[in-house]
Amino acid sequence: MSEAIAPALLAPGRTAGMNWRRLVPLLLVAPLVLFMLALYALPVLAMLSRSLLEPAPTLAHYAELAGDEVFHRIFTNTLWTTLVVTAGTLVLGYPVAMGLARARTLLPLLLIIVLLPFWTSVLVRSYAWMVLLGRHGLVNEALLAMGMLDRPLRILNTPLAVHIAMVHILLPYMILPIANALRQIDPSLARAAAGLGAGPWAVFRQVTLPLSMPGVMAGILLVFVLSLGFYITPALVGGPRDMTLSMLIAQRVEQLDWAYAATLSAVLLATALVIIAIFQRAFGVGTAFRMSAR
């Protein structure tokens, strides 16, 4: 075998082959990227740019927002709703997740019950709560029939209705990541802790809860960010005073106040991104959104 098969002689063919092979993935991804840029990303960015360019390059719209009472009230209300809903889903979702993680024979049934609302559109679920909470809805009728009320309560079109409906709608997003995390805990750990003399509460506090934290954090992030942008549910079951940021944006677009709507959109988007960034930094759960795929 001669020593002198010059690698350089082979190089042209080799690099050409490699370049072509490198190009294939790019050609596969390019159609979708161009499609999304043209039909989604650039439209959104163009709209957002109105907040900075109306009528000339300016930050005036953001400055205006800082002193706007209506915005303050609605922004605070949106954050408050988000917090209440996140806390509500956590408190109600954790036990369900535990049930889901421990179930054996009942697992298919539990899974269907948790997934059914997940598979139902937000619109239909909001409608369900309109039926339930209305003046002549099931809740009022039942309470009246049991003699616990003299006249129907006003629940629909109040903040309470918004909170109940949103908790219901977002519960699966809290339950599924927590159940996932709980399922990955080695059951012998809890048994070992119990064997070492820890009572049920101590086992939960010191073993189960800390080990499920990644799922809890993913759930909190998902619910928080999703509820921040809620529009349909508050619009249907909330009252005029329960306006959220999303509703305010829609209202301003209807009034063709694009600069204001764009400014609000930028604030809403930035809030969501900041929260995601904080969670990603602190808990490394940014990938939660991959599994938000229903």
Interacting residues with other proteins between 85 and 114 (CB under 8 A)? 92, 95-96, 98-99, 110, 113-114
In single-letter form, the type of residue at position 259 comes to A
**CB-side exposure of 272: number of CA atoms within 13 Å?**
16
Q: Nearer Cβ to other proteins, position 215 or 234?
A: 234
Rounded least distance, CB 140 to other proteins, Å? 10
Q: Nearer Cβ to other proteins, position 42 or 70?
A: 42
Q: CB under 8 A: which stretch of 58-66, 146-154, 184-192, 223-231 binds other proteins?
A: 223-231
Taking alpha carbons only, the member of 159, 118, 164, 113 closest to residue 138 is: 164
How far is the C-alpha of 89 from the C-alpha of 168, rounded, in Å? 8
Q: Does 283 bind other proteins (CB under 8 A)?
A: no
Among 125, 166, 203, 243, binds other proteins (CB under 8 A): 125
How far is the C-alpha of 287 from the C-alpha of 285, rounded, in Å? 5
Rounded least distance, CB 235 to other proteins, Å? 9
Q: Nearer Cβ to other proteins, position 87 or 130?
A: 130
Q: Nearer Cβ to other proteins, position 110 or 149?
A: 110
Rounded least distance, CB 262 to other proteins, Å? 8
Among 228, 243, 259, 285, binds other proteins (CB under 8 A): 228
Specify the DSSP class assigned to residue 204: I
Rounded least distance, CB 253 to other proteins, Å? 5
Taking alpha carbons only, the member of 173, 284, 157 closest to residue 227 is: 173
Specify the DSSP class assigned to residue 286: G
Among 128, 149, 160, 211, binds other proteins (CB under 8 A): 128
Please tell me the count of residues contacting other proteins according to CB under 8 A: 91
Among 59, 107, 116, 274, binds other proteins (CB under 8 A): 116
Specify the DSSP class assigned to residue 184: T
Residue with tokens 């012998």: 188
Q: CB under 8 A: which stretch of 26-34, 61-69, 182-190, 212-220 binds other proteins?
A: 26-34
Binding residues for other proteins restricted to 130-159, rule: CB under 8 A: 130-132, 134, 136-138, 141
How far is the C-alpha of 169 from the C-alpha of 121, rounded, in Å? 9
Binding residues for other proteins restricted to 241-280, rule: CB under 8 A: 246, 249-250, 253, 258, 261, 265, 268-269, 272-273, 276
How far is the C-alpha of 246 from the C-alpha of 229, rounded, in Å? 6
Q: Are 93 and 166 in contact (CB under 8 A)?
A: no
Q: Does 31 bind other proteins (CB under 8 A)?
A: yes
Structure tokens at 239: 């009252």
How far is the C-alpha of 172 from the C-alpha of 115, rounded, in Å? 7
Structure tokens at 248: 């305010």
Q: Does 28 bind other proteins (CB under 8 A)?
A: yes
For residue 28, CA distances in Å to 25, 40, 121, 128 come to: 5, 19, 32, 43
Q: Nearer Cβ to other proteins, position 67 or 249?
A: 249
